[in-house]
Amino acid sequence: MKALIIGANSVRRLLRERSNIFFVFILPMLLILVLGAAFGGSTDLRVGMVDAGTGPLGQDLSRAIVAVDGLDVSIYEDRDGLILSVERGRLDAGVVIPSGYDATVRAGGEATVEFVARPEQSARALRNTVDSAVAQQGTLLQAAVFAAEQRGVEMDRAWEDVKRIAREAPGFTVRQESAGEPFALEQLGKFDLGAYSELILFIFLISMTGSAALIQSRQLGVSRRMLSTPIRVRTILAGEALGRFAVALVQGTFIMVGSSLIFGVEWGSVLGAGVIMIVFSFGAAATGMLMGAVFKNDQQAGGLGVVLGLGLAALGGCMMPLSIIKIFSPVMWRVAHVTPHAWGIEAFEELILRNGTLLDILPQLGVLSAFAVVVFSLATWRLRVVLTSE
């Protein structure tokens, strides 16, 4: 009971600091939002199109471009607005079908379809896609003109006949199959990657910087006063551990529930995700407790906690996905697994990407549990020495 009181006091002390409210609850959600808006979501290329006043043939060309897989097409009213959107990065490219396109083509004239893009690699693929759609319509138009002249029928009828024949004519069938494991980023929802990586990052970071509160308790004589009472040392150790653990759990639960409700993040198996969060929080709390027992200066511990917290997060895959690290540097991928972050991220990806269960993440949970037990043992031993020698 006394250990629970000590732990509850640690949580209350955390929540009394307004800056802690921001860093523990608000900042992680903001980063999930920013990362999702910037890098998440569909990988379709964004294309704008102006086709007002083009006529039936221009609208046919527009529909052919809209039907291309992998393009997210938006219709614009005027050319200037389209170009402005391309310049500001809202669109990857733009297509302008000139007004009077239908009449010009029917009269045998030359109509110029304008392609607008920034000088980027993706613009080449988009240009090829647009060229292909224009060339395909041009071929059908030549066939329609020939049919109209040979059969002595109107161009509209010849055009409809040619399109019907083209649809009914046998063609090639392309079958696409995926080989190997799917690339992780392509399988995630818009905010999923930011959610579980920020969860791992902030639980560990706040636990490490929270070690300053443990040092302050010793500096203010709180620990000595508790030792002067009938409270045993092991009770104080248990209370401090519960306090660090409770803070990590509160933050982790808030991020998981908040991201699910606000951003629609899918965490896979609820049971599995909860166990990962609990085990990882235990290891993070033990690390913060160890830092609080090793250092004597709270400012030193807080500053070093930020540096180590961010450094380990970067190394462990919280800032660059492990799947990308593995592709470009297998050595760094193996080094990343020195950190608990990498094992936590792999466990979440097993649940989210592969619909894994608690049984599927047992290897990752085993490593995280071993890390937590070892660090917790060191922390309690060192803190006992410090408390009894003061």
CB count within 10 Å of CB 45 equals 18
Please give the Cα distance from 27 to 200 (Å, whole number).
Answer: 14
Please give the Cα distance from 126 to 68 (Å, whole number).
Answer: 11
In this prediction the pTM is: 0.69
- H or E element: which one contains 324? helix 322-328
What the block records as the tokens of 157 is: 């009828």
Does 2 have pLDDT greater than 80? Answer: no
Q: Put residue 157 in one of left, alpha, beta given phi > 0 → left and psi -120 to 50 → alpha.
A: alpha
Please give the Cα distance from 310 to 203 (Å, whole number).
Answer: 11
Q: In the prediction, which pLDDT does 114 show?
A: 92
Inter-CA distances, 85 with 48, 123, 171, 234, Å? 8, 15, 37, 64
Pairing of the two strands 114-117 and 93-96: antiparallel
For 201-239, write each residue's pLDDT tens digit: 999 999 988 888 788 877 777 666 776 677 788 887 888
Does 271 have pLDDT greater than 90? Answer: yes
Q: In the prediction, which pLDDT does 186 show?
A: 55
**Mean pLDDT score, 327-346:** 93
For 105-131, write each residue's pLDDT tens digit: 777 778 889 999 888 776 777 888 888
Q: Put residue 17 in one of left, alpha, beta given phi > 0 → left and psi -120 to 50 → alpha.
A: beta
Q: In the prediction, which pLDDT does 390 show?
A: 61
Are the beta carbons of 116 and 93 closer than 8 angstroms? Answer: yes
Please give the Cα distance from 142 to 135 (Å, whole number).
Answer: 11
Please give the Cα distance from 281 to 286 (Å, whole number).
Answer: 8
The SS3 assignment for 72 reads strand
Please give the Cα distance from 378 to 287 (Å, whole number).
Answer: 9
Q: In the prediction, which pLDDT does 55 show?
A: 83
Q: Output the CA angle 177-169-71, nearest 5 degrees.
A: 45
Split at pLDDT 50, 70, 90, the class of 249 is very high
* DSSP string for 253-291: HHHHHHHHHHH----S-HHHHHHHHHHHHHHHHHHHHHH
Q: Give the phi and the psi of residue 114 in degrees, each rounded to 5.
A: -90, 135
136 CB-side CA count, 13 A: 16
Q: In the prediction, which pLDDT does 172 show?
A: 53
Does 98 have pLDDT greater than 60? Answer: yes
**Mean pLDDT score, 31-52:** 75
Q: In the prediction, which pLDDT does 58 show?
A: 83
The better pLDDT of the pair 178, 388 is held by 388
Q: Which residues pair with 71 in a beta bridge?
A: 45
CATH topology of domain 45-166: abc type-2 transporter like fold (3.40.1710)
Which segment, 141-145, 195-199, 373-377, is predicted with the most confidence on average? 373-377
The better pLDDT of the pair 307, 90 is held by 307
Q: Which amino acid is at 376?
A: F
For 69-97, write each residue's pLDDT tens digit: 778 888 898 999 999 988 887 888 999 99
Q: Which residues pair with 93 in a beta bridge?
A: 47, 117
Question: Which residues 6+ apart lie within 8 Å of 291 measured at CB?
Answer: 208, 211, 301, 304, 305
The SS3 assignment for 48 reads strand
For 160-209, write each residue's pLDDT tens digit: 777 777 767 665 555 656 555 555 555 566 677 788 999 999 999 999 88
What the block records as the tokens of 265 is: 């993040």
Give residue limits of the domains in the chain: 2-39+188-389, 45-166
